[in-house]
């Protein structure tokens, strides 16, 4: 049976990390041709190696999603490799500890930490959407999936700029879904709970017991469990789904 992304071309940002890498492998399993983009070139190349070793087709792209010209050249590189971008997974992101804001309450975030968080986790998603949408309009349609978070839906202590950025990502997602519906472009978000990746190590060390007490499944999610939702959203099986934010969180948002 053909995969649900057979013949599609896809761009994944943050594809060198936990959720991005798992999604690259899931997309490849379902037949997509991939461009794996990441700030960390070696990590993206490792994902590409894993995809190709499994019989998939992928290329490595590198660059910082906060820079408009860089994002534009990433999009252009996907189009020159595959002719179009059917699916885009805008997933690159950072956590508070990566901007020296580990454990900081709102008034303790430095100006630089706040700005960098918003630049990567909000502006980066917008820049990706902006350049992808130009291409999708030109080619007659496409699908965008953004990585939101439960932090896009509720407040989380010591994560104020992260929470602000993720709320913003959901706002961008819903607005673009309305704006481009008539042009055959679907835009959705996945909202992961606490997933076992590099990003959550710091929070789990500091307040893992409290987090698990608030998670009905009493365990973290695996990146592969997010990848399944993203793959479905990116596929034609989700043909009537747009402007939606799907929680994949072990029940966290139900409490």
Residue 194 makes contact with ligand NAI by CB under 6 A: yes
Taking alpha carbons only, the member of 66, 96, 180 closest to residue 134 is: 180
Residue 146 makes contact with ligand NAI by CB under 6 A: no
- What separation, in Å, do the N-terminal and C-terminal C-alpha atoms of the chain show? 39
Taking alpha carbons only, the member of 110, 93, 81, 88 closest to residue 162 is: 93
C-alpha to C-alpha distances, 204 to 73, 113, 199, 209, 252, nearest whole angstrom: 36, 21, 10, 8, 15
**Which span sits near ligand NAI by CB under 6 A: 77-85, 153-161, 175-183, 196-204?**
196-204
Shortest CB 130 distance to ligand NAI, Å: 15
Residue 20 makes contact with ligand NAI by CB under 6 A: yes
Binds ligand NAI by CB under 6 A, chosen from 8, 34, 39, 230: 39
Shortest CB 73 distance to ligand NAI, Å: 13
Residue 144 makes contact with ligand NAI by CB under 6 A: no
Separation between Cα atoms, residue 167 and residue 181, nearest integer Å: 21
Residue 92 makes contact with ligand NAI by CB under 6 A: yes
Identify whether 180 is a catalytic site residue.
no
Residue 198 makes contact with ligand NAI by CB under 6 A: yes
- Evaluate the CA torsion angle 64, 65, 69, 73 in order and state its sign: positive
Residue 109 makes contact with ligand NAI by CB under 6 A: no
Q: Which two tokens stand for residue 114?
A: 């706040």
Residue 133 makes contact with ligand NAI by CB under 6 A: no
Q: What is the DSSP string of 54-113?
A: TT-EEEEEE--TT-HHHHHHHHHHHHHHHS--SEEEE-----GGGGT-TT--GGGS-HHH
Residue 98 main-chain phi, psi, to 5 deg? -80, -5
Q: How many residues bind ligand NAI (CB under 6 A)?
A: 29
Binds ligand NAI by CB under 6 A, chosen from 27, 56, 93, 97: 93
Residue 51 makes contact with ligand NAI by CB under 6 A: no
Residue 65 makes contact with ligand NAI by CB under 6 A: yes
Residue 199 makes contact with ligand NAI by CB under 6 A: yes
Separation between Cα atoms, residue 196 and residue 220, nearest integer Å: 6
SS3 of the chain: helix, strand, coil, percent, to 5: 55, 15, 30
Residue nearest to ligand NAI (CB): 17
Binds ligand NAI by CB under 6 A, chosen from 3, 40, 130, 241: 40
Site for ligand NAI, rule CB under 6 A: 13-14, 16-20, 38-40, 43, 64-66, 91-94, 120, 124, 147, 149, 192, 194-195, 197-200
Active site (catalytic) residues: 162
């Amino acid at each position: 049976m053909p995969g649900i992304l057979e013949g599609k071309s896809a761009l994944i940002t943050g594809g060198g990390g936990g959720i991005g890498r798992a999604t690259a492998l899931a997309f490849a399993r379902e037949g997509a041709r991939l461009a794996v983009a990441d700030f960390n070139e070696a990590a993206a190349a490792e994902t590409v190696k894993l995809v190709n070793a499994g019989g998939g087709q992928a290329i490595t792209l590198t660059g910082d999603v906060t820079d408009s010209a860089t994002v534009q050249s990433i999009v252009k590189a996907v189009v020159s490799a595959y002719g179009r971008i059917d699916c885009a997974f805008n997933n690159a992101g950072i956590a508070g500890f990566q901007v020296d804001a580990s454990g900081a309450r709102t008034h303790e975030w430095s100006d630089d930490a706040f700005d960098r968080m918003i630049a990567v986790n909000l502006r980066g998603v917008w820049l990706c959407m902006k350049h992808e949408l130009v291409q999708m309009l030109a080619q007659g349609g496409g699908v965008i999936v953004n990585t939101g978070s439960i932090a896009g839906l509720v407040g989380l202590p010591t994560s104020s700029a992260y929470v602000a950025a993720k709320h913003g990502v959901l706002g961008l997602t819903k607005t673009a879904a309305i704006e481009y519906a008539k042009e055959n472009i679907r835009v959705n978000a996945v909202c992961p709970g606490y997933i076992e990746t590099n990003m959550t190590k710091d929070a789990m060390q500091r307040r893992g017991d409290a987090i698990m007490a608030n998670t009905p499944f009493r365990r973290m999610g695996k990146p592969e469990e997010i990848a399944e939702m993203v793959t479905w959203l990116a596929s034609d099986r989700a043909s009537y789904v747009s402007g939606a934010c799907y929680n994949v969180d072990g029940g966290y948002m139900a409490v």
